[in-house]
Structure 1
């Protein structure tokens, strides 16, 4: 009887550990998306939007990077699918530097 209880406890512990690892992975990938959006916005504000998209793609591998440039602001949206298909999105804004 103790063996069955121990087996159930071990399975439950493994399930909790797997969920915790998945959650931690999602948090790390969300932070990568945020960092990628910030760097892309900074580079686009300096007048290098192509370089910003390239760098953002390197920081958040497999992410879709969209740069929206307007006269008074640059908006960058970085999105990707995280673990278990969880949608992850980050936005960043920057003011273009005068030329």
Structure 2
């Protein structure tokens, strides 16, 4: 009678568990990368809209371009505006994704002093 009977099965189960964890982290990282780019794109579009005098369209743009659950902050700074879009990573809990954009106001855009 062999003592090590079933050892290959245990080793295969451990290897499959490790491979599964690796691929879940890999896919989570790729999704997070895509969502990071979406945050940056949404921030850039939102800053452009504010700079062109269309701040009412910012929320819709962030909702359509940014990842699900994205939040945004618009900060006027003299003759420019900064927009930050942030969202949580869907498959990697605890990871926060951020996109920042900066734009100068168009000359014809009237803005409140800030």
Q: Same fold (TM over 0.5)?
A: yes
Match of 1:63 among 48, 55, 70: 70
Residue matched to 1:4: 10
Once the two structures are overlaid, the 10-residue window that deviates more, 54-63 or 8-17, is: 54-63
Q: Which SS does the other structure have where 1:84 is aligned?
A: coil
In the other structure, the counterpart of 1:77 is 84
When the two chains are superposed, the root-mean-square deviation of aligned CA atoms in Å is: 1.2
CA contact (8 A) 1:33 1:88 kept: yes
Q: Which residue of 2 aligns with 1:96?
A: 105
Unaligned runs of 5+ in 1: none
Greater helix proportion: 1
Is the radius of gyration larger for structure 1 or structure 2?
2
* Structure 1: distance between partners of 2:11 and 2:78: 66
Indicate the SS of the match to 1:98.
coil
Q: What TM-score do the two structures reach when normalised by structure 1?
A: 0.91
Report the count of equivalent residues.
Answer: 99
Tell me what 2:55 maps to. 49
**TM-score, normalization by structure 2:** 0.80
